Amino acid sequence: MTILEAQDRAETFVPHAFQEQIVDLGEIRMNYAMVGTQDLPALLLMPAQSESWWGYEEALRLLGRHFQVFAVDLRGQGRSTWTPGRYTLDNMGNDLVRFIDLVIRRQTIVSGNSSGGVLSAWLAAYAKPGQVIGAVLEDPPMFSSEVNPSCGQSIRQGLGPLFALWNKWLGDQWSIGDWKGMQAAAPKELPRYVKTALETMHIASSLTSVDKPPQNMIEYDPEWGRAFSTGTVTAGCDHARMLASVRVPVLFTHHFRAIDSETGSAIGTVSDVQARRVRELITGAGQPFEYLSFPQMGHHMHGDDPQLFTKTIVDWSSKLPRDN
């Protein structure tokens, strides 16, 4: 399959409160929104799987008082290019390296939610020297988004069945698009603990919107789901090796988690055991690590409580050394 550009899906999109821009990064064209002025510290925001930049829209209004903020659509999401067969952490991470080079062009604090949080860790380890000065990992699935993790539960014991469901019924690049069939199949194909996790983590809209897919799902290439559920997304990017290579201070926010009483499965994005291992590896690399626990918080703090999200980043980032 060939790459799919935003103009191929022009009927998909809706207007938002902030102006969107496109930058050509080579293989892809990346869509983004920017708020704030250049005299403020630079902050790059990377959304979760199935989320476009505008998931940060309410937080942007607050963050723009403290940072020049760049919120992006990752490849395969939003208005950015869809790249069949090319969804890996390394490819996405290198997109962001080029984005910092071409658009931000100065030292940057990076913050990502969920899989965007994994990419924040990737940048903390593998970005060009001097590009990144600090990384926020907002409820990231460290280890738990790997098929064969070195610590704790795998994606098969987490949200992997949900991502597989999306891809099975919607198809790569929405080639199937059976939304109602997916909803009908969900009670049979999803383990009970996944349904419990979705409700508790406030991310169940993909299953409860009966009439049509929500806007964020329309803008999402379901091949992402296959890449995560089968493990191809982490090909060449072992989480433990990546975390041991981190070169900047890290803030880790840990949200709702629990253990399912019937199956023993971990409910939530990342378990306490895995969070402790993240700390061990990053501090072992000689980097400062701050851990903040928000056990009652849904998966998307930036959407559920944008004021707390903003305060958390502002307070932590004020301690970072800056040259600019």
56 within some domain: yes
* The pLDDT of residue 318 is above 80: yes
Q: Which two tokens stand for residue 287?
A: 């980097």
Give strand pairing partners of 30: 23
324 within some domain: no
Tell me if the pTM is above 0.85. yes
Pick from 163, 183, 159: nearest CA to 225 = 163
Order of strands across the sheet that contains 20-24: 20-24, 29-35, 68-72, 42-46, 108-113, 132-138, 250-254, 289-293
Q: Which pLDDT tens digit goes with each residue over 248-262?
A: 999 999 999 988 877
Domain CATH number, residue 207: 3.40.50.1820
* The pLDDT of residue 204 is above 60: no
182 within some domain: yes
Give the Cα separation of 297 and 303 in Å (integer): 11
Domain that holds residue 143: 6-317
* The pLDDT of residue 25 is above 70: yes
214 within some domain: yes
Q: Which two tokens stand for residue 225?
A: 């789901």
pLDDT > 70 fraction of the chain, expressed in percent and rounded: 96
Q: Which pLDDT tens digit goes with each residue over 66-118?
A: 999 999 999 999 999 999 999 999 999 999 999 999 999 999 999 999 999 99
Q: Which pLDDT tens digit goes with each residue over 296-310?
A: 999 999 999 999 999
Bridging pattern class, strands 20-24 and 266-268:
unpaired
Number of domains within the chain: 1
Place of tokens 């306490």: 272
Task: Please calculate the CA angle 95-84-19 and round it to the nearest 5 degrees.
Answer: 50
Residue 236 has a pLDDT of 92
Q: Which two tokens stand for residue 173?
A: 């690049």
Give strand pairing partners of 186: none
Q: Which pLDDT tens digit goes with each residue over 211-252?
A: 889 999 999 999 999 999 999 999 999 999 999 999 999 999
34 within some domain: yes
Report which residue type is found at 251: L
Bridging pattern class, strands 266-268 and 257-259:
antiparallel
1 within some domain: no
